[in-house]
Chain A
Amino acid sequence: MSDFFSMYGQMLIRSILIHLKYVLISVSAGFALGLGLGILLSRLPPKFSAVILPILSIFQTVPGIVFIGLLFLWIGMIPATAIIALSVYAMFPVLKNTYTGIEQVPAGYCEAAVGCGMTSMQVLVRVELPLAMPTIIGGLRMSTVYTISWAVLSSMIGLGGLGDFIYQGVSSNNNTLIIAGAIPAAVMAVLAGALIDRVQKKVVPRGLRKEAIR
């Protein structure tokens, strides 16, 4: 065990940091993009979303490995390749949840808001987004957990991360290496999930929580 750490310790820490960096950057970018596009989509007439959402779903089913490979051929072996690919994938759950979250806001609330004299921007910021927030954060959680596992793929094109251990382990038939890559990734996913649950509690007002005391 101590052998392993003296040999791989530094590499492991570096890989975790790189992995984290990919995840943080692409989830942030994906969240911003997904939120923006989701809001935009909810402003358009329903016939647009009826076309756009299925197309996005199909796109989402393209295996990450294929997309990363294509980007690699096009952009090359720079970190941006991994970040772009991961951001796009991180965007999907957020976009979808933002859109459905806003759509699910009961029409009565929006009518009350408009009737009070809110502009459409004020309705969005003060009523629709807060009410959609639990769903949106749910999307963020999903995209963060996914991105942590997808980021393993970036080592496939030589960009490092915890995937290095897994690929090396697989190719050299070394289970210790596989586990050394898998466990930190799994722990990272669990921690990130827990962290987002905490955030969820903070940003969702008491009035929207199901367990609110009457």
Chain B
Amino acid sequence: MIQFEHVVKRYGKNTILHDLNFTIPDGQFVVLIGPSGCGKTTSLKMINRLIEPDEGRILIDGEDYAGKNPVNLRRHIGYVIQQIGLFPNMTVAQNISVVPRLLGQDKAACDKKVHELLEMVDLPYEQYAHKYPNELSGGQQQRIGVLRALAASPPIVLMDEPFGALDPMTREVLQDEVKRLQRKLHKTIVFVTHDMGEALKMADIIIFMNGGQIEQMAPPEKMLEAPASDLVRSFLGKHQLSDSNPLYVEDFMRTNPYTVDFHRGVLECAEKMARSGVDTLLVTDDDDHYLGTVSIRDIKLKGREAGSIEPLISTEVRTVCLGDDAQESVNYLLTSGESYVVVLRPDQTVAGIITKNSMAKVVANTLWGDDK
């Protein structure tokens, strides 16, 4: 458990942190986020005492380390920094064993740990242990940086924008990896970032800081639901729930479904289905009014002698009207096992259809924004 009690930090006349109070419970993934200069990195570095508070106390598992030699504390807190964390004069294995060696573990124990950790992130020992950092890609380097922080099995790991310099693909992969490691090893992780997407993805709790104070401290879900201020809202940006929640059938429907005129022949219909990759068509009359549907199954069963599709038209498919509440249709689709609902305009022409696919798309867009 990490507790900040009335922590104040000043540089000259500038107060960087104003009376900061918060508690981080064990095993939580806590993300510090906020605009630059908000004090998030300063707060992080106070935990392993790279920066000392001017006032207040920082307790780790109830113990105040102020005035004691910080070296021992640091050996029991993992630390990952942006980009150039690895020592270029040491191999991967030596880098990973830095802290275990400082703790006096022998070479065999360190080597075992290196094997174990490299295995955990799928970097084969034989291939990577004796490489130097400049022989690795940026993503591999930062992976090793994370492993080094974990090597002495510290209960707490601090990460200062660890993935800031990586390309989006690699960042994505490393985020997943760190999250997986954290869950597996039950670490308390304090993570600084300025990327809200990263925060929402990784955090159990987000601490949003601004001007040396906490603007909001909440789980991602709560922050999305109720941002405490306009600043938090602007940081959430595209990740936020849109104000107009989808309510009506038109919000969920797919337009331009495949239709066919009721005069058409059976074979022509079958051919159109095959070409469009669907198993039913919507049948309309000369004025485009909806008549029903025709399915490939019916055509196969009794189609040949019919010649025209008119006798095969089924009106069993559920129809709804534009402006209807969507909830009913959605529930119907989810429970009945039917694959679609037809949406009609007031004049009985076809407006579109709702399928499970079109529903899923809308839900996804609402949650994560329309990224197209």
Using CB atoms and an 8 Å cutoff, list the residues of chain A in contact with chain B.
106, 108-109, 111-119, 122, 126-127, 130-131, 133, 205-208, 212-214
Bound complex: CA A213 to CA B82 (Å): 23
Q: With A and B bound together, what is the CA distance between A106 and B81 in angstroms?
A: 13
Which chain B residues lie closer than 8 Å to A108 at the CB level? 81-85
Residues on the A chain within 8 Å of B14, using CB: none
* B212 beta carbon closer than 8 Å to chain A: no
Q: Which 3 A-B pairs have the closest CB atoms?
A: A207-B132, A117-B75, A117-B74
Q: Decide if A207 touches B71 in the complex (CB within 8 Å).
A: no
Beyond A207-B133, A207-B134, whether A131 also contacts B84 by CB under 8 A is no
Whether the Cβ atoms of B134 and A113 lie closer than 8 Å is: no
B211-252: which residues lie under 8 A (CB-CB) from chain A? none
Contact yes or no, B81 A207, CB < 8 A:
no
C-alpha spacing A143/B87, complex, angstroms: 29
Chain B positions near chain A (C-beta within 8 angstroms): 48, 50, 71-76, 79, 81-91, 98-99, 102, 132-135, 148, 158
10 A-B pairs with CB atoms under 8 Å apart are: A108-B85, A112-B79, A115-B48, A115-B158, A116-B79, A116-B98, A127-B87, A133-B89, A205-B89, A208-B132
Given contacts A206-B132, A207-B133, A213-B135, contact A112 B87 (CB under 8 A): yes
Instruction: From B85, B86, B88, give the contact of A131 (CB < 8 A).
Output: B88
Q: Do B50 and A115 have beta carbons less than 8 Å apart? A: yes
Contacts of B86 in A (CB 8 A): 112
- How far apart sit A119 and B75, CA to CA, in the bound complex (Å)? 11
Please, how many angstroms separate the alpha-carbon atoms of A119 and B277 in the complex? 69
Chain B residue nearest to A113 in the complex (CB):
B87
Contact of B85 among A112, A122, A214 (CB under 8 A): A112
**Dominant SS among interface residues on chain A:** helix
A117–B89 CB distance below 8 A: no
* B73 CB, min distance to chain A CBs, angstroms: 8
Contact B102–A118 (Cβ < 8 Å)? yes
Q: List A contacts of B82 (CB < 8 A).
A: 108
Given A112-B81, A117-B71, A119-B71, do A208 and B89 touch, yes or no (CB 8 Å)?
yes
Decide if B74 touches A114 in the complex (CB within 8 Å).
yes
Q: Which residues of A contact B148 (CB under 8 A)?
A: 116
Give the complex CA separation of A118 and B103 in angstroms. 10
User: Could you say which residues of chain A place their CB within 8 Å of the CB of B98?
Assistant: 116, 118, 126
CB neighbours (8 Å) of A133 from chain B are 89
Complex Cα distance, B287 from A170, in Å, reads 120
B99: contacting residue among A116, A130, A206, CB under 8 A: A116
Q: CB-nearest residue of chain A relative to B70?
A: A117
For A213, the closest partner residue in chain B by CB is B135
Closest CB of chain A to B42's CB: distance in Å? 13
Contact among A115, A122, A212 with B81 in the assembled complex (CB-CB below 8 Å): A115
B102 and A116 contact, CB distance less than 8 A: yes
Report B161 CB to chain A, min CB distance, Å. Answer: 12
CB distance from B75 to the nearest CB of A (A): 3
User: How many whole Å from A205's CB to the nearest CB in chain B?
Assistant: 5
Note all chain A residues with C-beta closer than 8 A to B88.
109, 131, 207-208
Known: A118-B102, A131-B88. A212 touches B75 (CB 8 A): no
B81 pairs with A131, CB closer than 8 A: no
Q: Is B90 touching A207 in the complex (CB atoms < 8 A)?
A: yes
Known: A115-B81, A214-B135. A109 touches B99 (CB 8 A): no
Nearest to A129 among chain B residues (CB) is B89
Interface centre among B88, B132, B148 (most CB of A within 10 A): B88
Residues of B within 8 A of A205 (CB): 89-90, 132
Contacts of A112 in B (CB 8 A): 79, 81, 84-87
Contacts of B50 in A (CB 8 A): 111, 114-115
Q: How far is the CA of A206 from the CA of B135 in the complex (A)?
A: 10
Chain A nearest Cβ from B349, distance in angstroms: 64
Bound CA span A109–B79, Å: 12
* 14 new A-B contacts at CB < 8 Å, known A112-B81, A115-B79, A131-B88: A108-B83, A109-B84, A109-B87, A109-B88, A112-B87, A113-B87, A116-B74, A116-B102, A117-B73, A118-B71, A122-B102, A127-B89, A205-B132, A207-B88
* Bound CA–CA A206/B71 (angstroms): 29
Q: What separation, in Å, do the CA atoms of A117 and B101 have in the docked complex?
A: 11
